[in-house]
Each structure stands twice: as structure tokens, then as C-alpha cells.
Structure 1
Amino acid sequence: MNRALLDDSVSFNEEQHQLIESNSKYYQFGIDYTINKEHSLSASISSDGGTNETDIDSETDQFAFETLNNRQFSHNYSESRNNAYTLDLGYRYDIGDKGERLDFASSYGENKMDNSNFNKNELIDIINNTNTSNSNRDSQDQDHVKYSSRLDYTLPLKDKKGKFEVGIKYDI
């Protein structure tokens, strides 16, 4: 890419190469089991994760009146990883033949994220024969745990035109 001012006193030539790679995966396995007419169980486990990587290299030349003054090299790399796991359990109790029901469900999940970045820059001042470089690296790790439970009770109304439901839910 060439960029120039209207009077051609200063111009730039920039070249950039970029590579981005991503992958993700998701798995889930579940089972429902009816113990008898009144009792049933359910369980599932899932896994979700992926990575993203970005790698960028660039070179910029600065010209003044068509004479090379500065050359800058940059390298930037970032990586992000995510892994999550969830376990779900459920129990249903059908009370009698009139549609009365008690439901319990619980879920436990973990999510781990790792992010890292690396940047390196070098500036070469050709006119003054000086070289300046800097680099930095940072990383951030995050762990999240989630627990959730709920209990629901359902009671059909006597006129069969509706039902009464009450429930409680707890999340941390």
C-alpha cells in the first residue's frame, strides 16, 4: 500500500502479512431414564472449546522527497483459548394420576479462558543511524464456575382449564 501527501514531500510504503487460525469444538452426551410411571431421571454432559490465533507482520518505509528516512518493523501475535464443561442432572416425580408434578434440575459448569498477546516494534532511523525497539507481552487467565438448581411444582386446577405452578431457582 502506498500513501502520499499531495505535495509528495512525505510518503509511506507499507507491507503487511496476516494469518488468522480458528477452531472450535462442541460435544454433548445425554441420557433420559424412566424408572417407572412416576419417576424419571435425566443427565447430560457437554464440552465446548476453541482457539483463535492471529499473527501479523508489517513493514513500513517512510520517504521524504523520495529518500528513505525511517523503516519500521512490527510483529503482533495473539492467542485465545476457551474450554467449558457443563454437567446437568434432572429428576421428575409425577404425583398421582391428576397431573401433579415435581421437577428438580441442577447444573454445574466450569469455563476457563486464557488470552495472551505479544507485540514487538523496531524503528530504524536511517538518517541519524539510530535504532529503537520495544516489546511487550501480556496474558490473562480467567476461571468461572457456575452452579444452578431449580425446583418446580405443578398442580392442575380442578376445572382442567389451567394449572398452578410455583418454583424456586438458585444460581451462583
Structure 2
Amino acid sequence: MDFLEIEFGVPNHTWARGTSLETRTSARLDSALCNADWSLRFPNVTTKDLPAVQSDHCPILISPNGFAPIASIKKPFKFQAAWLTHDNFREFIETKWDKSRPLFPLLKKVSDELQDWNRNVFHNIFKKKRNLLARIGGVQKCLASQRSRDLIKLEAKLRKELDEVLE
């Protein structure tokens, strides 16, 4: 069976190693393959290189029908276990929880207040993670076309920040 390589956009490097200008090297080592039938069935296939974070290889995301913008919608409430690590979380809940109120309206009120607390006090770890991943991806794209001591240091610093957010 013959395989076809799915075309990639930029950056043109999917692997990098080295933490200094002297030791930094990178190349496109990874590919996405498909057969002819699959290629005909999905003519709008698109790939996206994701930032390399836990590895020296960039993960490759393959979308058979292209990438469409995600609509902005109000997401359902989700309790975040990381909130329990915050020093003031218990106090926050104790001040917001009113046992004399009916349960369902109280749950709605507390969930709204928790989402505000997450955004303004806990500093939304998901937003931090998205921002750090975007910055790491941008730095890696620049490093694929030019080697820079400052960019290599910035990438290492951003990876360390991401590790701290994920702890």
C-alpha cells in the first residue's frame, strides 16, 4: 500500500534539542501519512503543530475537515480540584454558603461567585496555561527559522512557568 504525506504548514521543524545557541539544533523529523482513499475522502485535511512541552517533539494535530473557529459559548460550571489548594478557598465557601436558602438557587449563586473568584482571585489556571502554550508555540516557530540565545532562554523560562501552573 502506498502512503501519501499530508502537507504541513509552518513551522517546518517538529523536533528541537539544546538549551544554548551552541547546542541548539532542530529539524522536521515527524510526518503525517494517509492512503489515497483517505486523501480523497478528506480533501480539506489540515495539520497543526502544537507546542513541544513535555518532549523535544511537537505533537501534530490532524483535522480531516480543517480547523473552524470555536464559537464563544458559556461553559457549564465545573469544580476545579486545584481550588482546594488555595489558602482562602474554605473561607470563601463558608461565607457564600447559606444553609437557609433553597438548594438550587444557592448552587447557581455559589457557582457564579466561584467562577468570578476563579477569574479574579485564583487567576484562572486554564487561561494561564493557554497563554503560556501560545507563547511557547510562538517562540518555537521563531526558533525554527532563526537561532537566538534569547529565544532559547525564553522557551526554557516559559516551559518552567507552565510546569509550575500544572503542578
Alignment TM class, shorter chain as reference:
under 0.3
Higher RCO structure, 1 or 2 (CA under 8 Å, sep 6+): 2
Higher helix share: 2
Bigger share in strand: 1
